[in-house]
Amino acid sequence: MSDDRVGSMGDKVTKTGGVQQIRQMAEVELLSLQELEEKKIINPRTDNKGLINTFREIRTKLVQGSGKKNFVCMVTSVVHGGGASFIGLNLAAAFALDQSKTALIIDCNLYEPSIDKMFDIAPEYGLTDYLEDSTLSIDDIIYATGISRLRVIPAGSFREAGAEYFSSDRMMQFIRSVKERYSDRYIFIDAPPVGISAEGRILSEFCDYSVLVVPYGKVTNTQIEAGLDAIGKDKPIGLIFNN
């Protein structure tokens, strides 16, 4: 059973943890308009048309820049609390609005993980568990979100030595697998601040593109330039100023 299929009572479970896999992979009840608004996630029914149109425009530019091929995009900020998680989640949600695309957001911010809390997920396993335990499969760590066509991989229970986790061969294989497994899947990595963490710089090497989120009026030009330098010359696809 693939991670984007809905499990049913008729599915044959052939591996340990199969029941758990069906539970987490089957689409949970869709989030209501009120829940989406409370979580500040864009949706077609929102009254804030300006916000959703902004993310749709960014989506269009990302698709055009990639030659309409799926990609891995790291979303990071210059400083802690810069809004990268908010931007990354809504970029993924914008792609999931398109019925021809699916989106996956991976929480790699081990300092301030937030994606599982955003969707009220109590994960048994996450990314670092997968990187630590070779018996786990990718299907074991992907969870439904309550938003159609949007899946999430939480950070996991191991929060130490992030740089070592992300620089491992298993991490490289993991990124390659989640990208190549489905051609309609667009992957977003919620990364720690790139200007002040080794993890952000390491993660940028696995990505096709990077988006740098700049908290408006709260950082200097020097900090922005340092963030861009840390990402590398070829990776940045744009700056987003977050108010």
pLDDT at 36: 95
Nearest Cα to 208, choosing from 61, 59, 70, 64? 70
CB-based contacts of 57: which residues, under 8 Å, 6+ apart? none
- Residue 146 to residue 32: CA distance in whole angstroms: 9
- Residue 199 to residue 207: CA distance in whole angstroms: 13
pLDDT at 2: 44
pLDDT at 160: 77
Write out the two tokens for 5: 């299929």
Distance of CA 111 to the CA centre of its chain: 15
Q: Are strands 150-153 and 185-190 parallel, antiparallel or unpaired?
A: unpaired
Write out the two tokens for 147: 């938003």
Kindly tell me the sign of the dihedral angle through the C-alpha atoms of 140, 145, 4, 211. negative
- Angstrom distances, CA of residue 67 to CA of 60, 183, 237: 11, 13, 13
pLDDT at 27: 60
pLDDT at 23: 41
Q: What share of the chain is helix, strand, coil (3-state, %, to 5)?
A: 40, 15, 45
- Angstrom distances, CA of residue 54 to CA of 9, 58, 127, 237: 41, 6, 30, 16
- Residue 70 to residue 107: CA distance in whole angstroms: 19
First to last CA, the chain: 42
Distance of CA 215 to the CA centre of its chain: 19
Write out the two tokens for 167: 């620089």
Tracing tokens 């209501």 back to the chain, one arrives at: 32
Nearest Cα to 79, choosing from 191, 198, 194? 194
Mean pLDDT in consecutive groups of 10 residues from the start of the chain, 243 residues: 36 38 59 94 93 94 91 93 93 96 95 90 94 95 96 90 87 95 95 84 91 90 90 85 83
Q: Note whether 58 and 240 are within 8 A (CB).
A: yes
Task: Tell the CATH topology of 32-242.
Answer: Rossmann fold (3.40.50)
Q: Note whether 96 and 88 are within 8 A (CB).
A: no
Q: Note whether 127 and 180 are within 8 A (CB).
A: no
